[in-house]
Amino acid sequence: MTQGSPRTATNQPRYVPQKSRLHAARTITPNPHGHGTPSALVFRTSPGNIGSRRHPYTHAVIRFPNKPVLEYHVGIYVAGQSDVPHECDVAVLYQTEAQTCRQNPGILPRYHKVLLGPECKFYTVNVKLALGRAFLGLVADISYRYGERYFVMNTSSDSVAKLLAKHKRKPGHDLIPNQAGEVTKLRSSFRDVFDSFKIRG
């Protein structure tokens, strides 16, 4: 499993962590070893192991009062029901699972410890149906009844939307800054996942 050169940024990650802050969560961004705050944020440009120390990859810690601590990661591998590794473009998982994997670099997070897992596609043309089919195959191996898996794209595709709707999967489309309505709907769906997590405890 190889990883590309890291991508750095000086702004805080704002997508899932931002939404959690709106619902009584506290979000921090520690350095890779869990001590202090990094001066720059480093993200993977290709999938890799959560326990990799090749670069000081950034993750966020999400804390809801009196609930298990969560972590937000970009571009990590997750072990499916078949024990086959699958890439998660975005993953919100239990911190205890992440810590176990960091302490044992050969171990991948287990699918049922991933609360939120959007599959993200960025294309200049409409997304092909084959990608929707591939997503259904992925979901079949990493589904979890208390979590959600999403197919998120910056463009639209009627065929992909129909396919996912038939299989009761949640697509997000036209996810670009000037489409505030679509962004709000996706965030609302994420909020529902966090709300359900808080109820279960």
Whole-number pLDDT of residue 10: 43
The answer to whether residues 154 and 185 touch, using CB atoms and an 8 Å cutoff, is no
- What pLDDT, on a 0 to 100 scale, did the predictor assign at position 148? 81
- What phi and psi, each to the nearest 5 degrees, are found at residue 200? -70, -35
Q: Is residue 39 part of a domain?
A: yes
Q: Looking at residue 168, what is its pLDDT?
A: 67
Tens-digit pLDDT profile for residues 159-170: 888 887 777 675
- Please report whether residue 48 resides in a domain: yes
Q: Is position 31 within any domain?
A: yes
The answer to whether 165 and 135 are in contact (CB under 8 A) is no
Bridge-based pairing of strands 148-153 and 114-121 is parallel
Q: What is the pTM of this model?
A: 0.78
123 token code pair? 């294309």
Is residue 2 a part of any domain in this protein?
Answer: no
How far apart, in whole angstroms, are the C-alpha atoms of residue 55 and residue 45?
12
Q: How many domains does the chain have?
A: 1
Ranges in the chain, pLDDT < 50:
1-2, 10-16, 19-22
- The answer to whether residue 109 is domain-embedded is yes
Q: What is the pLDDT of residues 34-45, one digit of tens each?
A: 556 767 788 888
Find the domain containing 69 and state its range. Answer: 7-200
Q: What is the CATH number of the domain that holds 117?
A: 3.40.1350.10
